[in-house]
Structure 1
């Protein structure tokens, strides 16, 4: 018996969904579901391909009550720009949670991942950043740096933004884009220490394998969201900073132990206790920020639950977009 599969392109997806508070709510729901203990989310399938200067991640999760579940494939081949191709691409496949049949293939080239990752940053800021943020900072100058600041501004409308990156030209371009997008004061900051010391909310968005933020830069009233560490060996935050913070939170402890900031901290003999997860704070199982002067750090490695949440959300709002193929 035949059934239909909907094929949707990146351009169609960009028309259907943007980074807004609705997307943030969808991802917050996914974090809350993770805290319930009934989500089925296997470990990330991750391949490091040094011979090709590439990596591939596969993520998935089944969330009870959701109509479908997604399997997301994310390749990153970092020599591609020399061939005139983008470094990142990928797709999401949406399956029926009732029958297991493929319902849709989203040829998003990483767009949905970008949206759900930025939305996760907004969820972290909403639950962990100080209630009032005047100055925010971002370390990194790529697509996610831009999106993270747009997302954070939705929930903490800061009036000043600092941008730091290894390449001054890329930092200037990122600052110009965010100045135009957010309509606020945006400055390039030559060093990350100055950025951290002058910000109440900092997001790191790099593939660094050595700390970019040191423990002695922390100050009362600071929140840091680290999103760059998503494979073993990556590390943006000084392990001592995790130990020095009043609260360190994971998106998923089991992932952060092997591919997040917690991996480096454990290797240094720190953070041996099991930290709380963001979903537990959202659902009230664990207390979040204890006051305006607290120092908090959130470690986001990206979860399959986020992919299932964004994919099922998109499927509901797509309408007739895409090409239907009977199989």
Structure 2
């Protein structure tokens, strides 16, 4: 008989939050990806167009971890009209030695949201210059978390928010102010937001680019994390070309579902860009001067899911419900 520990979202929220230790956990995941030995299959992605839905499945075996995670992440975007959340999902934690299920985290996307925000903080830590003003494009939960995470590693005094809906942008700005203590303002023009920021994070499901090459300026870092499906794009291919340094979380993923996909469709960026893990480990040079312009393309990797799931297992103690199979 094997015991399986089941934790609900409420229980998980008591065990883990967005803090520097979690950022370090996710950074170590990037290190492992650069060190080699990781087994990470391509993302299994399925669109259910009849119901305006999509499902992603990610996983990775990481040497040194006793367990690996299998993450199921559905997004059904007509759900709010039904009184249901757009995003949900779960993580299953399995023994890397026996394959037996050890835990099920019914997180409804909470752990994915945390590890995605923490990955943004890792990118800012290694690529952004000193930040007085940060900007975020988008007004959802990830926009809030990305600014909270960025503030942990680049404690900005001022934040700018852009969104298509002025009411949502104002609510997002208020929440970021409460979480960070920064002065937060709404901007109605993306070019103005970018011009006034040293760090910009894009968090939208846009299919038409929002940032263009003429918006770039010295000393700017952009983290793009909204493009995680073929067809999504937040930054023009010309912008990637114009940057001093363009970095991927995983080149193979960015080439099929990130900003790199559109660039290569135009015959640009044909040489393999560096990956964030190699910059973290010092194998590849990152930002070398404050005036440089850097872009990091984050599509989300199974390594991050395995990293945060193992972190939860270590932090959760005897929380949850144990069932015997």
How far the C-alpha of 1:218 sits from its partner, in A, is 0.2
Q: Distance in 1 between matches of 2:40 and 2:192?
A: 39
Measured against aligned partners, the alpha-carbon deviations of 1:81-119 in whole angstroms (never above 9, x if no partner) come to 111100000000000111110000000000000000000
| Matched residue, 2:145 | 147
Among 192, 195, 202, which residue is 1:197 paired with? 195
Superposed CA offset, 1:123-180 (max 9, x none):
00000000x1000000000000000000000000000000000111100000011112
Can you give the 5+ residue segments of structure 1 that lack an aligned partner in the other structure? none
In the aligned structure 1, how far is the partner of 2:7 from the partner of 2:65? 20
Equivalent residue runs for 1:107-126 within 5 Å: 107-126=106-125
CA distance in 2, matches of 1:63, 1:180: 36
Matches within 5 A, 1:1-327: 2-130=1-129, 132-327=130-325
Structure 1 residue 304: deviation in Å? 0.1
State the Cα deviation string for residues 285-317 of structure 1 (Å, max 9, x = none): 000002000000000000000000000110011
1:215-245 Cα deviation digits (max 9, x unpaired): 0110000000000000001100011010000
Normalised by the length of structure 2, the TM-score is 0.99
- Figure out how many residues of one structure are paired with residues of the other and give that number: 325
Secondary structure, aligned partner of 2:268:
coil
Query: How far is 1:49 from its partner?
Result: 1.4
Per-residue CA deviation, residues 172-229 of structure 1 (Å, 9 max, x unaligned), is 0000111122111100000111000110000000000111100011000000000000
Paired residue secondary structure (1:122): helix
Give the Å deviation of 1:45. 0.1
Q: CA RMSD in A?
A: 0.5
Q: Flag as ranges the 4+ runs of structure 1 deviating above 3 A.
A: none
TM-score, normalised relative to structure 1: 0.99
Report the Cα offset of residue 43 of structure 1. 0.0
Instruction: Give the Cα–Cα distance (whole angstroms) in 2 for the partners of residues 205 and 40 of structure 1.
Output: 28
**C-alpha distance in 1 between matches for 2:182 and 2:323:** 46
What are the ranges of 5 or more consecutive residues in structure 2 without an aligned counterpart?
Answer: none
Give the Cα–Cα distance (whole angstroms) in 2 for the partners of residues 84 and 324 of structure 1: 31
